[in-house]
Amino acid sequence: MFAKKFFSSGIAFFSILTLFSLPGFAPAQGILPAEEQEFTDAKVAIEAAQRAKAEKYAPEPLKQARDLLIVAGKARNSQDSVKFTQASRLARAYAGLAKAMADLKTEEEKLAATYEELQKAKEEIERLKKSQ
């Protein structure tokens, strides 16, 4: 009798252990502090992109970052830590892309303005040479 109970409970224990070790069957653990930090980092990255004028120069990646932050927020509410972390990381990556694109466009504009000033200075030099 004892052996039968022990064997049955052993099978039950092994079955439960196997079930929880499979992906997608683990009990909800909640959102960990490190995962919350990913979310915070994504928000900070979006703010940095906005300061870099990403709305003007890189609206699509900025929109994608914002949308992913919303997805992450919903995943947080449902305690889906995997989706929460993935969406947070992607939001941060898209925000980084938006900022880089905005920074590049800003530098291109500065370069174009500097080139224009250089051309005007050259024209002024030529004009002054001719008037001598």
Output the pLDDT for position 27.
42
Q: 23 versus 41: which is more confidently predicted? A: 41
Residue at 75 is within a domain: yes
Q: Rounded mean pLDDT of the chain? A: 85
Residue at 2 is within a domain: no
Residue at 5 is within a domain: no
Give the pLDDT band (50/70/90) at residue 131.
Answer: confident
Residue at 22 is within a domain: no
Residue at 15 is within a domain: no
Residue at 21 is within a domain: no
**Beta carbons within 8 Å of 105's beta carbon, 6+ residues apart:** 53, 56, 57, 58
Give the pLDDT band (50/70/90) at residue 14.
Answer: very low
pLDDT tens, residue by residue, 36-95: 999 999 999 999 999 999 999 999 999 999 999 999 999 999 999 999 999 999 999 999
pTM, two decimals, is: 0.70
Output the pLDDT for position 2.
46
Residue with the two structure tokens 């030529």:
126
Range of the domain at 92: 32-131
What tokens were used for 121?
Answer: 């200075």
DSSP 17-37: HHHHHSTT-SPP----HHHHH
Q: 4 with 49: CB under 8 angstroms?
A: no
Round to whole Å and give the CA distance between 5 and 13: 12
Q: How many domains does the chain have?
A: 1
Q: 16 versus 43: which is more confidently predicted? A: 43
Residue at 19 is within a domain: no
Residue at 17 is within a domain: no
